[in-house]
Amino acid sequence: MLGHWWGVHLAMHLAVAQPDRVAGLVLVDGLGAVGDGGIAEMGQAMVDRLLPGALARMQEMAGQMARREPADTDATEQTALQWPGYFAEPAAARPGRRRCASHWPPVQAP
C-alpha cells in the first residue's frame, strides 16, 4: 500500500484495521497517524511558510472566486503561491517548480 500526504494517514489506519490485507506500506510526505492526521497543524504551518504577500493575494483571489466561477489560471496561480510552503525554507524552493504550474494541461470536467 502506497500512501501520499493524507493517504499516509489512511494507509496506516487500513494497515491497523485490516493487517491481513496489507503486506507492507510505503509512506510518502505524510501528515501523521493520529486523530485527523495533523491537518490543522499542517495547514497553519503552510500559512506560516508562505512567502511575503502570498497570503494576501490568496485571500484576494478567494474573494474574487466567491463572486465568479474559478478559472484554470486561478488554480495555477494558487499552486504557485502555495508551492514554497512545502519547503522547510520557502525562499529556497526551486523556481522551476513555480514555473511548472504554467505548463499543466487544463482540467476537463466530465
* Residue 86 confidence (pLDDT): 78
54 lies in some domain:
yes
Same domain, residue pair 70 and 25: no
* Residue 97 confidence (pLDDT): 44
In tens, the pLDDT along 66-96 reads 999 888 888 888 888 888 887 778 888 776 4
Same domain, residue pair 32 and 51: no
Same domain, residue pair 28 and 67: no
Selection from 30-34, 49-53, 94-98 with the highest mean pLDDT? 49-53
42 lies in some domain:
no
Whole-prediction pTM:
0.55
Q: Where in the sequence is the domain holding 84, given as residue range(s)?
A: 47-103
Instruction: Please tell me what DSSP assigns to residue 91.
Output: G
Same domain, residue pair 23 and 56: no
Q: How far is the C-alpha of 11 from the C-alpha of 71, rounded, in Å?
A: 33
